[in-house]
Structure 1
């Protein structure tokens, strides 16, 4: 179940629409060829002219362009993929690739340059959100596309090659790469035939999914924007040579050293981890930006509500990313029911209360609750160690109702141990 739901999320991330409009038709072709930028101007013009399906295409153009830009920046500065599948996918490398730069001759990185990379990413996600919101306002369109055919130029060489499709990048992950068909057996199963039938990997994107993507942009932008509201140069100097090992960071030449406990490499790595923890005290350098992160977080449940409003109004059933109780789920043995929707809406209610400061976050050390809204609007620093251990949380403690298992009772009852999968899926 978990792999299937994550596959849906990954497929949605790199989706590309096929539209009835001229701009949409050309966009689909260029997405499959990896020539996305060539369709940008005409797609945006069609969106500005009031074609909401073109606005969906424009949103996807911004989203994929932003993801591509981040991947190219990471490649430019020689980011490593230390055994992490998500990072390996982002850089277009195999999951089993050793922790070495994909780029053998990276450019030199500075703290300021890294901040620029992250700021560009956040700005791109916001631009995509605006286009998706315009696409969600109206329009009866279904964009049936195969997300696994989309090509993205990850290394910035000007050509999106066959190995730079989502299908090629997900292939080493096996079942993770499979988008199921409701009338076919789950991945790894067969109907007893000698050869498995080809799996239909298309998804029918529509107006409801525009709201889904708008929410997605804020989910991924929020933690980056939270970091940018702080100064983190100490952490950069102490640890990020582990991510960019050949980009000229201060500790680059000391990834191995003397032996203290085990061996040169292990001891140096342990020392860097300790240094990273020691430097997790970030001063707030932009209080307005920090407060803006709270507004981003508040927009996520609001956009989810718009998503479900559109989903529940649908009358078709065309390979839905997120189905209504009347539609067919792409996830085997996991239909969406009225009970499922009600549990999700109750969860959104609780999340909104937490973000508004009406419901406090529990802290293991205190009887009082942690006011999340007060943190975002008043914090002068974020010391993760001190927040966790207690002293750093003191300014944000107050009396009031505290979120507990009962606050998420409906979600616990309906979703059970699969709740995280539903969070990925429903967004």
Structure 2
């Protein structure tokens, strides 16, 4: 799951910024680079919001805020999925990620999750993306430029509060030098990218809203224990297991 979510986060930040890099200097760029490198993007949100509030025409800060909030939505989703052991016993999951990454990503002591909690998880994801969308809307037609080295990107994908080498997702897509270290992967962002990312965020919100628009409790009871090992469902009850007597 870590690698899967990491690739989604990286795609959301880099796939629309692969045009020729544009030099961009300023406080917004420095803040974004700093907190992306240390894996504290929640703190980047606070700092960029403060910077944007000081001057409503600071499009760089507004763009940075939209980027950070989009990435933060995925980070929070990753943390929630890890908490509930998403994919820990799914053969299809291991086939998709490969055995080694899936072993690393497994949560061997997941929390139980109910149908209602899963719906809440989706609702939170929608709300987080909506906040990001509003930040990107504020960029408008104002010129904005940011330049970021994504090779240093780190995310607290499992929510343990510790950002170590296993959280260095920038190494997944960056080239390596002779010593095995990630080489800089510089990406330029501008106002057009804000509109692209808005479309991306809205597409994902639409998918999540489609799930929430109907009652899928029957599917939950019949099959979701495949991807959530401690899913509280009629199937788990029929198998004689509940959240308290579960063992991995």
Query: Normalising by structure 2, what TM-score?
Result: 0.75
Q: Tell me the equivalent position of 1:403.
A: none
Q: Residue 151 of structure 1 aligns to a residue in which SS? A: coil
**Equivalent of residue 152 in structure 2, options 145, 149, 152:** 149
Deviation digits for residues 366-419 of structure 1, max 9, x if unmatched? xxxxxxxxxxxxxxxxxxxxxxxxxxxxxxxxxxxxxxxxxxxxxxxxxxxxxx
Distance 1:10 1:115, change over 3 A: closer
**Equivalent of residue 166 in structure 1, options 163, 166, 169:** 169
Distance 1:110 1:87, change over 3 A: farther
**CA distance in structure 1 between the aligned counterparts of 2:154 and 2:117, rounded to whole angstroms:** 27
**CA distance in structure 2 between the aligned counterparts of 1:161 and 1:86, rounded to whole angstroms:** 26
Deviation digits for residues 187-241 of structure 1, max 9, x if unmatched? xxxxxxx99xx86522111111111111110122211111111111111111100
**CA distance in structure 1 between the aligned counterparts of 2:68 and 2:109, rounded to whole angstroms:** 29
**Equivalent of residue 63 in structure 2, options 43, 49, 56:** 56
**CA distance in structure 1 between the aligned counterparts of 2:207 and 2:144, rounded to whole angstroms:** 34
Judge conservation of contact 2:73–2:129 (CA < 8 Å) in 1. Answer: yes
**Equivalent of residue 202 in structure 1, options 172, 175, 186:** 186
Distance 1:57 1:72, change over 3 A: same
**Equivalent of residue 70 in structure 1, options 72, 77, 91:** 77
Judge conservation of contact 1:23–1:39 (CA < 8 Å) in 2. Answer: no
Query: What is the correspondence of 1:222-261 to structure 2 with a 5 Å cutoff?
Result: 222-252=206-236
**CA distance in structure 1 between the aligned counterparts of 2:113 and 2:199, rounded to whole angstroms:** 31
Judge conservation of contact 1:109–1:247 (CA < 8 Å) in 2. Answer: yes
Q: Residue 251 of structure 1 aligns to a residue in which SS? A: helix
Structure 1's unaligned 5+ residue stretches are 1-7, 89-93, 171-176, 180-193, 256-427
**CA distance in structure 1 between the aligned counterparts of 2:50 and 2:96, rounded to whole angstroms:** 34
**CA distance in structure 1 between the aligned counterparts of 2:219 and 2:42, rounded to whole angstroms:** 35
Distance 1:157 1:99, change over 3 A: closer
Structure 2's unaligned 5+ residue stretches are 1-6, 18-22, 240-248
TM-superposed CA distance for 1:254, in Å, is: 6.8
Judge conservation of contact 2:152–2:170 (CA < 8 Å) in 1. Answer: yes
Q: Residue 107 of structure 2 aligns to a residue in which SS? A: coil
TM-superposed CA distance for 1:20, in Å, is: 3.6
Q: Tell me the equivalent position of 1:188.
A: none
**Equivalent of residue 202 in structure 2, options 202, 218, 222:** 218
**Equivalent of residue 123 in structure 2, options 101, 119, 123:** 119
Q: Residue 139 of structure 2 aligns to a residue in which SS? A: helix
Query: What is the correspondence of 1:104-115 to structure 2 with a 5 Å cutoff?
Result: 104-115=108-119
Higher relative contact order (CA 8 A, sep 6+): 2
Deviation digits for residues 33-86 of structure 1, max 9, x if unmatched? 101222322311222332111011111121111101100100111111644489
The answer to whether the aligner puts 1:13 opposite 2:18 as a matched pair is no
Deviation digits for residues 116-175 of structure 1, max 9, x if unmatched? 10001011111111111222421242x22222321110111012222112234x3xxxxx
**Equivalent of residue 46 in structure 2, options 41, 47, 50:** 41
**CA distance in structure 2 between the aligned counterparts of 1:148 and 1:77, rounded to whole angstroms:** 29
Which 4+ residue blocks in structure 1 deviate beyond 3 angstroms?
8-12, 18-21, 81-88, 94-101, 247-250, 252-255
Judge conservation of contact 2:174–2:184 (CA < 8 Å) in 1. Answer: no
Judge conservation of contact 2:148–2:187 (CA < 8 Å) in 1. Answer: yes
**CA distance in structure 2 between the aligned counterparts of 1:44 and 1:38, rounded to whole angstroms:** 10
Give the number of aligned pairs.
Answer: 221
Q: CA RMSD in A?
A: 3.4
Judge conservation of contact 1:79–1:101 (CA < 8 Å) in 2. Answer: no
Judge conservation of contact 2:33–2:149 (CA < 8 Å) in 1. Answer: no
